[in-house]
Chain A
Amino acid sequence: MFLQTLFTGLSVGGIYALMAVGYSLIFSILNFSNFAHGSVIMLGAYMGLGLASKFGLKLGFVVAGAMAGGGLLAVLNERLAYRKLRHRNAPSLYLMISAMGCSVFLENMVYVTIGSRFYAFPEFFTRRVVTFLGSSVSVMDLFALAFSLLAIGALGLFLARSRTGIAVRAGVCDMTMCSLMGVDTDRLVALVFLLAGALGGLAGTFMGVRYLVYPTMGWITNKAYIAAVIGGLGSLLGAIVGGVILGVVETFISAYVSSVLRDVFSFTILVALLVCMPNGLFGKSMEERV
């Protein structure tokens, strides 16, 4: 029971981490909380669902399609809703309101066009379990955990090693300086949104396979935002650690205490953490600049 809960927690945490990385990437470069990321994840899940049930594709293609779709959607979102604000040097609050608007718009667009029905993915994993030290762990959980870590690891390598990755990291430090050194910041921001959106599409597909697909599933991503805050917004490592911590703690709370209290608990953690450690575990300074 304990080990099984731990593995479920780890796999949920891995998915949280995938989503949290998206928040953190965008936050690190534009310094605002992109609430529309939740809707990108939700639409990514719908795209994956469409590919899987309408075209009957294999899991690999479904994941690839959802990643591509999520990435494109995020880029489009930046292009239409944020770029103008960015060029005007608007306060980050305006960007945040715009993101909020996007999220409300996309979510309700899905409601109106596709409907509020809950959809299930076709079974990719027959409910196989692996018995491990006397407790059974589902294959799906192991797969989701492995794939999440793989994707985040690949992202980390890309940022650390490639030329473009160096440009992104330079942009995180100082956008103005970066553009003076000849980096096209519009393309840089688009790239960051593409990466975040692709990870979002991947996370959405996993969430959909694990639970169900429905318009307000973007709400789960509030948890991802909390995870990003726990780890410290803007820090990739923080997003991973925060996601895993939140996933494990939540799973344990719902297994041993009460599944109703789970959400109250995560929001309480959020408020308490914001108050005590506004920078999170690994974040840069977030206090109001006074």
Chain B
Amino acid sequence: MSYILSITTLACINMIAVLGLAIFTGFTGLFSFGHAAFMGIGAYVSAILTYYYGVPFPLALACGVAASSAASLIIGIPTLRARLRSDYFAIAILGFGEALRVILENLSITNGARGLPGIAPYTTLPVVVLCLGLCVIVARNFLQSRYGAACIAVREDPVAAEMSGIHLFRTRLLSLALSAAYCGLSGGLLAHYLSFIQPVMFTLVQSTQILAAVIAGGLGSISGPLVASFLFIALPEALRVAQMWRLVAYGLILVLIMLFRPQGLLGHQEISRLFKRPAGEDH
């Protein structure tokens, strides 16, 4: 029973990060290979605050969220203002994540590459479910607000969106900051659930797993990525498939989805009316 509980908790924590990236990639149309870095910032900030300074858990979590959001501005402002090509942007964030990993591995407060053990295990399943529920509600409201509509317009056609008075830079930055906040929350919850964090937990592998769930679930859908992340986390865990084969499968799934079903498993279910022809056309 406790095994199932722990898998459910981990899956829910992961879902929060996936939801964040779904806002950024699925609805705003920008790819990121570095969102695990934002999880890392959230995890380290909230863990360090409770570990060294005895800050109460909710406050520490909030600080982690704020810190990863602020960090997203550091990389987001210059790169989004420069209007990099989408793959260059993804690479810039990847570089940011790798640089962050090197920094985390060499600070004394993070205990370097050995990781930080003994973080108080405050995260419980009810807390996680509550957070996830709040996140889904916030995401839904955001996407239905005019900001969300602006994000979708930017994804569909940046030129047309700009013509109709949408500020490209501001819309993308807002979406990035929100998605980073989600990842920060997810990281903070993870740190206080596992009670141990290490820089290698927040590298490209983790970023790829989040991205795989978003792509597999469907770009432009909230429910799709959530289902996909549950399938990706809970199933292999429950079937006790070895960690390494899981990564092999991730790679294969990414390729197969691009080849055969680029719109994702569930497609863009919630907003299908916005699409005339889903995939396969150049923009």
| A101-B254 in contact (CB<8A) | yes
Report the interface size class on chain B: 35 or more
Q: B87 in the interface, Cβ–Cβ < 8 Å? A: yes
Distance (whole angstroms) from the CB of A277 to the closest CB of chain B: 10
| B258-A274 in contact (CB<8A) | no
Known: A91-B283, A286-B85. A108 touches B251 (CB 8 A): yes
What is the 8 Å Cβ interface bit string for chain A, positions 78-117, against chain B (1 contact, 0 not)? 0011001100111111111110111111111101100000
Task: Please indicate the chain A residues that have their CB under 8 angstroms from the CB of B270 in the complex.
Answer: none
Determine which of B94, B253, B282 lies in contact with A91 in the assembled complex, contact meaning CB atoms within 8 Å: B282
| B85-A85 in contact (CB<8A) | no
What is the 8 Å Cβ interface bit string for chain B, positions 242-261, against chain A (1 contact, 0 not)? 10110110111111001100
Number of A-B pairs whose CB atoms are under 8 Å? 143
Q: A7 in the interface, Cβ–Cβ < 8 Å? A: no
Q: Please, how many angstroms separate the alpha-carbon atoms of A226 and B92 in the complex?
A: 10
Determine which of A102, A275, A290 lies in contact with B255 in the assembled complex, contact meaning CB atoms within 8 Å: A102
Task: Please indicate the chain A residues that have their CB under 8 angstroms from the CB of B262 in the complex.
Answer: 90, 94
Q: A225 in the interface, Cβ–Cβ < 8 Å? A: yes
| A100-B281 in contact (CB<8A) | no
- CB-nearest residue of chain A relative to B255? A101
Q: Please, how many angstroms separate the alpha-carbon atoms of A290 and B208 in the complex?
A: 28
| Segment with Cβ contacts to B, from A124-132, A142-150, A190-198, A263-271 | A263-271
What residues of chain B have their CB less than 8 Å away from a CB belonging to chain A?
Answer: 31, 33, 75, 78-79, 81-88, 90-92, 94-96, 98-99, 102-103, 106, 158-159, 162, 168, 208, 211, 215, 242, 244-245, 247-248, 250-255, 258-259, 262, 279-283
What residues of chain A have their CB less than 8 Å away from a CB belonging to chain B?
Answer: 32-33, 80-81, 84-85, 88-98, 100-109, 111-112, 222, 225-226, 229, 260, 263-264, 267-268, 270-271, 274-276, 278, 286-288, 290
